[in-house]
Structure 1
Amino acid sequence: MVFDEEARRSLKKGIDILAGAVKTTLGPKGRNVALDKKFGAPTVTHDGVTVAKEIQLENAFENMGA
């Protein structure tokens, strides 16, 4: 269990990681992102929603933020 400031820091770190990955796809100058999956070929996408759905972090509290 994590409480108070440590919990907020973990959640914020997860949010920041997600935002950093998604913001690269935004706007007319947005870049493509390659997603490596456990099966099949990697997927190249320009869609922020797809990128956000694929993010899985090892730390459970950071993953909640993402």
Structure 2
Amino acid sequence: GYNAATAKYEDMVKAGVIDPTKVARTALQNAASVATLLLTSDALIAEKPKDDKKAHNHGSEDMY
């Protein structure tokens, strides 16, 4: 990874930078949540509502 303090690329473990388990776990959970949302959102926007003219004019004649 990039060390901004020294402006060099180095092994982050050797430099003492280690991700806490909670941070890595939360990142994976959030990524899985977003992936699930993207996979299921196409089902929400894919269905077209049925055009039922009787329900729209409520018994009156069309205005156009």
- TM-score by shorter chain over 0.5: no
Larger radius of gyration, structure 1 or 2?
2
Per the shorter chain, which TM-score range?
0.3 to 0.5
TM-score normalized by the length of structure 2: 0.38
TM-score normalized by the length of structure 1: 0.37
RCO higher in structure (CA 8 A, sep ≥6): 1
